[in-house]
Amino acid sequence: MAILDIVTYPDPRLKNPTARVNEINDEIRQIVADMADTMYEAPGVGLAAIQAGIDKSIIIFDPEADKEKRNFSTLINPKITFQEGTMTSENEGCLSVPDFRSNVKRYARVTAEGLDIDGNPLQIHGEDLLSIILQHEIDHLNGILFIDRISALKRQIYRKKRLKALKDE
């Protein structure tokens, strides 16, 4: 069991597109296992590897976030291949964006495609919470945080508060 340190805003690593995974080996399997430990401990419903400072295109997610069941999915090199409809996520949050939540405009339904932990193609169709999680986590792989999808004014207010909190630490 390894709990990884979470990289938080405004760490510049969260702004960069992540590197593709070329081979799923023991290193990748260990990263995913550690990511799962970290996600359930937080607890969170999704985690991207870059949130632990690991520059790889890997996400995991579990909408139920039940530590006892540990029923999470892994998507490696995922992409959104289909999207339709609109919805507003209520009180969306992120482990890398401490002390802030906001409603965010999202697609209502998406399909994400990538590889599973065994290297097999995996296609996941999500609506409601799963749709939001897929969009949120895949955004991380493109260097986008949910606060990049709210108004500039709200983002500036958060940024000010966050910088002050970091200074006071």
Q: Which residues are catalytic?
A: 137
- Cα(4)–Cα(22) distance, integer angstroms: 23
Of 20-28, 60-68, 91-99, 122-130, which part binds Ni ion (CB under 5 A)?
91-99
CA 73 distance to own-chain centroid: 13
Q: Which amino acid is at 88?
A: T
Give me the least distance between CB of 143 and Ni ion, in Å please. Answer: 12
- Contact between 36 and Ni ion (CB under 5 A)? no
Residue with the CB atom nearest Ni ion in the bound state: 94
Is residue 100 within 8 Å of 158, Cβ to Cβ?
A: yes
Residue 134 within binding range of Ni ion, rule CB under 5 A? no
Residues 6+ apart with CB under 8 A from 157: none
Give the distance, in angstroms, between the CA of residue 62 and the centroid of all CA atoms in the same chain. Answer: 11
CB of 53 to Ni ion, least distance (A): 14
| Minimum CB distance to Ni ion smaller for 46 or for 120 | 46
Q: Could you tell me the smallest distance in angstroms from the CB atom of residue 26 to Ni ion?
A: 26
Q: Is 94 in the site for Ni ion (CB under 5 A)?
A: yes
